[in-house]
Amino acid sequence: MGACHAVAKILNATLVIPHFEVNPVWQDSSSFAKIFDVDHFINALQDDITIVKELPSDYSWSTREYYATGIRDTRIKTTPFHATADWYIENVLPVLKSHGIATIAPFSHRLTFNNLPPVIQRLRCKVNFEALVFVPDIRELGETIVHRLHHNPSINEVAGIPMSS
C-alpha cells in the first residue's frame, strides 16, 4: 500500500481508497476491498486522516483511462523513490491546491523512512499494525492453514525432513 496514508496526512488531503495496479507477473487484479476490510481501515484512521471510498462526483473524470490518454496537470509521475515530506509539499501540494485533486502514479515506496515527523512514523505503524485487517475470507483461510500446520505432522515436513516448531 506504499505510504499514501502518510502522504495524505502530510498534505492535509483526503485519501481515496487506493486502486491496485494489476501485477504483471501474477496478473492479479484484486482490489483493496477484496483484500482488506475497508470499513475497519476507515474507522481505525478516522482521527488521523479523512478517507473516502470513492471520488466525489465533481472529480468523477479522474479515472485510470483519463490519465492513460495523455499528460495531465493533475497527475504526478515523477515522484522519486523515497521522496521526502518536503518534496510532496513542494511538488504535490500546489497541484492539489490548484485543481482540488492530485494523482500520484506510480506510488509504491514513494515516501522516505528518514527524517519524517514522529506523527507520520506513528501513522505508518498504526496503518500497518492496526488499520490493515484482512477480509474475513482471507483471515479464515489463514487460520485454516495455521491449524493444519499445527495439527497435521505430515504437513510439517519438507522433502521428508521434519520442520522444527
pLDDT at residue 159 is higher than 70: no
Which whole number is the average pLDDT over 69-84? 87
Give the C-alpha separation, 158 to 6, whole Å: 41
Rg of the chain over Cα atoms, rounded to whole angstroms, equals 19
Dihedral sign for Cα atoms in the order 67, 73, 78, 82: negative
pLDDT at residue 89 is higher than 80: yes
Those residues with Cβ within 8 angstroms of residue 160's Cβ, 6 or more apart along the chain or in another chain: none
Which pTM value belongs to this model?
0.80
pLDDT at residue 97 is higher than 90: yes
Judging by DSSP bridges, how do beta strands 161-162 and 15-16 pair with one another? unpaired
The pLDDT of residue 96 is 95
The pLDDT of residue 163 is 61
